[in-house]
């Protein structure tokens, strides 16, 4: 499991020469209703174990939550279950709003 910060992720998403990662948002439904990164897949943390088959083990995957703690746990879980290229967004969606998209609602 690797760490990636908001500005690094934004650069990655803007880079047409590198395949985009799967953005896995593991926050609760009410949190996602407030704000989310465009193109992210929502899968609450507690449903990840039963929904592993919905994720591509071959694609790079970035786990996202509010500040990075829940997504870190999910990233470790995914690594233990054979996902090779797993990243955790340090600072979570809050860091994204502060550093990349200041128009995004924060909570």
Where would I find the H helices in 57-104?
Answer: 69-80, 92-99
Q: Which residues contact 80 (CB under 8 A, 6 or more apart)?
A: none
Q: Collect contacts of 46-51 with beta carbons under 8 A, ≥24 apart.
A: 48/74, 48/77, 48/78, 49/77
Contact 71, 65 (CB under 8 A): yes
Catalytic positions:
65
């Amino acid at each position: 499991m690797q760490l990636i910060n908001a500005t690094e992720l934004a650069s990655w998403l803007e880079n047409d020469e590198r395949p985009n990662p799967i953005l896995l948002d593991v926050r609760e439904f009410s949190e996602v209703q407030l704000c989310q990164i465009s193109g992210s897949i929502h899968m609450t943390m507690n449903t990840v174990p039963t929904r592993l088959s919905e994720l591509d083990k071959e694609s790079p995957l970035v786990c996202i939550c509010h500040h990075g703690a829940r997504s870190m746990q999910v990233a470790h879980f995914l690594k233990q279950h054979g996902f090779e290229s797993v990243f955790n967004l340090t600072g979570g969606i809050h860091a994204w709003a502060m550093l990349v998209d200041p128009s995004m609602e924060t909570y």
